[in-house]
């Protein structure tokens, strides 16, 4: 397996360098091979993450997402006044211009309708640069579940997980519904502490296939299904297992057909696998450009329709997916609910797609925050996004 991994790295490397130079990516890979970096990317220094997050397909196995021949068109008409929009953090007032100068910010786009009103990149980032999305992916695995229901591969979100993954029969996870894992309310025990190397997410957050079901099948039930929200990356990975089992195909191929080609993404991307030739990580790690993050937001804002206007999900799916769940009113089918009809896909280290249908605004974000969650940068990012969206009331 190690030889295969090295082969894949060396084969993919020649075409992977984008934000960093090939020399910088090569040096990073050599340090990985020499064991000079922690095996957990969440614990990398900021400078190493700047390379790792932009070049996932250079050092990990991925499946490709292919640019569409006819991308969904975005116009550009920059609104200079957006830089003067103010926001507050901890009682202090800042401007969007201040936020654009922050070192962790890699890229941001503000799109009103189909028009880019603000677009900004770090010096080593650009419109073609792809960046790992982390848990932003969860929201689109959820959307693909809707597509699988529309296509008849899944009967209902009330189906039990064991219907599609019989290995889990007799376990706590086998008895919960697809809806329970869409809402992260399985009630099964799970620790999502990113800084603890012994937490469940550190040990099993990227597992797929038999390894994932073996790990999850041994976990105890703490609460009745559907009653308590507990953020759990593995449940989204499990959702990916359900999706692949139902459609009899890879999630990447389904995403290519339904969204990357079906709606029209401008740039090639990729979806990380847990191992070479293994399944995609359903709860994580689609890499895409900042404009394609925005297109993903436009795609769901329009109701998850393709380029011809055909709905890819059942009638009312996006309304259901962005409605409060019983376990937590701020969460839907893997969408964070922001109030007044707005919702977001959010990933650690500051990745995000914010969708505000009432104002017809989508904001996409690439970031390299100092830590996975709860930093000062996260506070600024959350505040500035909401302030920018609110400015469109004018």
Question: Would the CA dihedral through 52, 53, 54, 55 be positive or negative?
Answer: positive
Question: Does the fold of domain 155-244 match that of domain 61-71+119-147+250-393?
Answer: no
pLDDT lower than 50: segments of the chain: 1-18
**Residue 375 near residue 45, CB atoms below 8 Å:** no
Fold for domain 61-71+119-147+250-393? Beta-lactamase (3.40.710)
Residue 352 three-state SS? strand
Q: What integer pLDDT is reported at residue 1 of this predicted model?
A: 36
For residue range 296-321, list pLDDT tens digits in order: 999 999 999 999 999 999 999 999 99
Question: Would the CA dihedral through 118, 124, 128, 129 be positive or negative?
Answer: negative
Domain 155-244: which CATH number of 3.90.1150.10, 3.10.20.90, 1.20.58.710, 3.30.450.20: 1.20.58.710
Q: For residues 364 and 350, what is the distance between their CA atoms, to the nearest angstrom? A: 10
Measured N-to-C along each axis, helices 22-33 and 2-13 cross at an angle, to the nearest 10 degrees, of 170
**Residue 338 near residue 344, CB atoms below 8 Å:** yes
Query: What is the phi/psi pair of residue 333, to 5°?
Result: -85, 70
For residue range 174-205, list pLDDT tens digits in order: 999 999 999 999 999 999 988 888 999 888 88
**Count of H-run helices and E-run strands, the chain:** 16, 13
Q: For residues 188 and 227, what is the distance between their CA atoms, to the nearest angstrom? A: 11
The residues that bridge with 177 in the sheet, in sequence order, are 160
Domain range summary for the chain, segments of one domain joined by +? 61-71+119-147+250-393, 155-244
pTM for the predicted model, two decimal places:
0.92
Q: Pull the structure tokens for residue 132.
A: 């790992």
Query: What is the phi/psi pair of residue 362, to 5°?
Result: -125, 135
Q: Pull the structure tokens for residue 368.
A: 């390299």
Q: What integer pLDDT is reported at residue 19 of this predicted model?
A: 53
Q: What integer pLDDT is reported at residue 197 of this predicted model?
A: 86
Q: What integer pLDDT is reported at residue 4 of this predicted model?
A: 35
The count of other CB atoms within 10 Å of the CB of residue 133 is 31
């Amino acid at each position: 397996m190690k030889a295969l991994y090295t082969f894949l790295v060396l084969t993919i490397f020649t075409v992977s360098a984008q934000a960093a130079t090939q020399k910088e990516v090569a040096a990073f890979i050599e340090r990985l091979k020499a064991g000079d970096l922690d095996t957990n990317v969440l614990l990398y220094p900021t400078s190493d993450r700047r390379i790792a997050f932009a070049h996932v397909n250079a050092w990990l196995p991925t499946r490709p997402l292919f640019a569409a021949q006819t991308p969904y068109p975005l116009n550009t008409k920059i609104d200079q006044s957006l830089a003067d929009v103010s926001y507050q953090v901890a009682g202090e007032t800042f401007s969007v211009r201040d936020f654009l100068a922050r070192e962790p910010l890699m890229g941001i786009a503000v799109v009103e309708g189909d028009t880019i009103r603000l677009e900004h990149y770090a010096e080593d980032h650009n419109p073609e640069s792809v960046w790992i999305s982390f848990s932003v992916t969860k929201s689109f695995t959820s959307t693909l579940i809707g597509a699988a229901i529309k296509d008849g591969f899944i009967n209902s979100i009330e189906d039990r997980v064991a219907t599609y993954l019989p290995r889990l029969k007799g376990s706590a996870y086998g008895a919960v519904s697809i809806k329970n894992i869409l809402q992260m309310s399985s009630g099964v025990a799970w620790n999502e502490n990113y800084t603890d190397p012994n937490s469940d997410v550190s040990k099993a957050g990227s597992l797929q296939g038999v390894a994932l079901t073996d790990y999850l099948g041994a976990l105890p039930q703490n609460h009745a299904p559907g009653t308590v929200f507990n953020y759990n990356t593995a449940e989204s990975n499990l959702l990916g297992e359900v999706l692949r089992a139902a459609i009899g195909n890879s999630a990447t191929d389904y995403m290519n057909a339904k969204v990357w080609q079906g709606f029209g993404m401008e740039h090639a991307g990729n979806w990380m696998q847990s191992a070479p030739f293994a399944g995609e990580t359903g709860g994580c790690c689609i890499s895409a450009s900042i404009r394609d993050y925005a297109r993903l937001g436009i795609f769901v804002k329009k109701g998850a329709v393709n380029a011809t206007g055909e709905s890819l999900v059942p009638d009312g799916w996006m309304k259901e997916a962005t409605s409060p769940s019983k376990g937590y009113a701020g969460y839907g089918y893997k969408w964070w609910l922001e109030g007044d009809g707005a919702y977001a896909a959010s990933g650690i280290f500051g990745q995000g797609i914010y969708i505000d249908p009432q104002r017809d605004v989508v904001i996409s974000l690439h970031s390299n925050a100092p830590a996975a969650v709860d930093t000062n940068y996260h506070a600024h990012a959350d505040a500035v996004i909401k302030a920018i969206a609110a400015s469109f009331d004018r």
